[in-house]
Structure 1
Amino acid sequence: MTHELLDRALIEEATKKSGLIWVRAGGLSARPEPDHEVPTRPLWHVWHDGAAFLVGDGPGEQPLPGLADGGEAVVTVRGKDKGGRLVSWAARVTELAAGTPEWEAAVGELKGKRLNAPDGEAMPQRWARECRLVRLEPTGATAALPEDSLARRPVPSAATTRQEVPAALPRLLFKRRGRRARG
């Protein structure tokens, strides 16, 4: 009993304090093979009424791949200090219908956390028309910390990393700074 209460408290506090959670559709026992990996996505959320709430799958919003009403998901939460995994917990997925009291309460919490919304105060109406609101409720099960790193190759993308700085650039920058200081 005490162990379950401690797990519940860890889940709630860690998830409440984290800006992002990593979510994968499926249960704790379904460890995906590297070739058929179900994507784990970083998603912004809000902790409200004992669950994590997510909004997405609409234009300009985060994707919620595989999170189906009545399904299961695994939520991984990192620590704010070092960014390491604190806890992975099993969740029951529930999609909320727009306009219900629970939907209204969750949207009230979510709209304060949504950064850079293109439509400001009209955002809740857009969410009702075009997006899904998902509740991830902890089932009480947590996963043991993995023994391996779980590192995987990045998903193929057109994105690139920065190129090396040209060798002459630092000299040019420092030369200009020196002139300003003397003048």
Structure 2
Amino acid sequence: MTTLGAKAEELLDQALVEEATKKSGLIWVRGSEVPVLEGQARAVPTRALWHVWHDGAACLIGDGPGEQPLPGLVDGGDAVVTVRSKDKGGRLVAWAAKVVELTPGSPQWEAAVAELKGKRLNAPDGEAMTGRWARECRVLRLEPTGGTSELPDGSLSAPPLPTPATTRQPAPAGLPRLLFKKRKRRQA
């Protein structure tokens, strides 16, 4: 392959990563292994995370109260990002990333937070959330480090990760009667 061909392929990979990540609302991220004991590490599961594409990287907010967890994503560490198609939901591209934690109040942090703030849905504290993010959360940039990875075959489906947010309780006994009563009134 000629040098021009390799450079063209690299540019196409960059364009694919940027365009796919910009358009996707969620990305699947697997961070570095987490040390458990001396000489031992635990693999970190892949997580679906919301993000914004800003200034050549995927920006994330998390690890604070009411925000998404970011296990295995440490400053200076590596991550693998898989991007899905917004239309069909299938995997489009996987890319390697370097994790960079932004310092609260820095110009990069301010720019990333301005973008993230516009995409954050259902924030409990509205306009005060940026102050909470500065005090209690981490803002990360996942910067692409090279070309794309080969996508694996198969579904890669797995059971959902345990979370305190899931509360499965039976429906109240009177609920079906209330629902059916409203339908009868509408039909009359």
Q: TM-score, normalised by structure 1?
A: 0.81
Matched with 2:93 is 87
Q: Which amino acid aligns with 2:105?
A: G
Matched, 1:97 2:103: yes
Alignment match of 1:117 (pick from 105, 123, 127):
123
SS at match of 1:53: strand
**How far, CA to CA, are the matches of 1:89 and 1:156 in structure 2?**
26
SS at match of 1:142: strand
**How far, CA to CA, are the matches of 1:160 and 1:56 in structure 2?**
22
Alignment match of 1:108 (pick from 98, 101, 114):
114
**How far, CA to CA, are the matches of 2:112 and 2:61 in structure 1?**
10
SS at match of 1:26: coil
Would the alpha carbon gap of residues 130 and 155 (structure 1) be closer, same or farther in structure 2, given more than 3 Å must change?
closer
| Deviation by residue 1:85-139 (Cα, 9 ceiling, x = unmatched) | 0001000000000111111111111101111111111111111111101000001
**How far, CA to CA, are the matches of 1:143 and 1:74 in structure 2?**
9
**How far, CA to CA, are the matches of 1:118 and 1:154 in structure 2?**
25
How many residues align? The count is 169
Alignment match of 1:144 (pick from 147, 150, 160):
150
| Deviation by residue 1:5-56 (Cα, 9 ceiling, x = unmatched) | 11100100010011111111039xxxxxxxx642111111110000000011
SS at match of 2:144: strand
Q: What's the Cα RMSD here?
A: 2.7
SS at match of 1:94: strand
**How far, CA to CA, are the matches of 2:167 and 2:151 in structure 1?**
31
Could you list the structure 1 runs, at least 4 aligned residues long, displaced by more than 2 angstroms after superposition.
147-163, 175-181
Equivalent pair of 2:26/2:50 in contact (CA under 8 Å): yes
**How far, CA to CA, are the matches of 1:114 and 1:13 in structure 2?**
20
Would the alpha carbon gap of residues 139 and 122 (structure 1) be closer, same or farther in structure 2, given more than 3 Å must change?
same
Alignment match of 1:127 (pick from 133, 156, 161):
133
**How far, CA to CA, are the matches of 1:179 and 1:133 in structure 2?**
52
**How far, CA to CA, are the matches of 2:128 and 2:161 in structure 1?**
34
Matched with 2:38 is none
How far apart are 1:180 and its partner, in Å? Answer: 4.9
Where structure 2 has 5 or more consecutive residues not aligned to the other structure, the ranges are 1-6, 34-41, 171-175
**How far, CA to CA, are the matches of 2:182 and 2:125 in structure 1?**
43
| Deviation by residue 1:137-157 (Cα, 9 ceiling, x = unmatched) | 001231112123323344456
Q: Which amino acid aligns with 1:39?
A: P
Q: Which amino acid aligns with 2:55?
A: D
**How far, CA to CA, are the matches of 2:140 and 2:146 in structure 1?**
18
Q: Which amino acid aligns with 1:83?
A: G
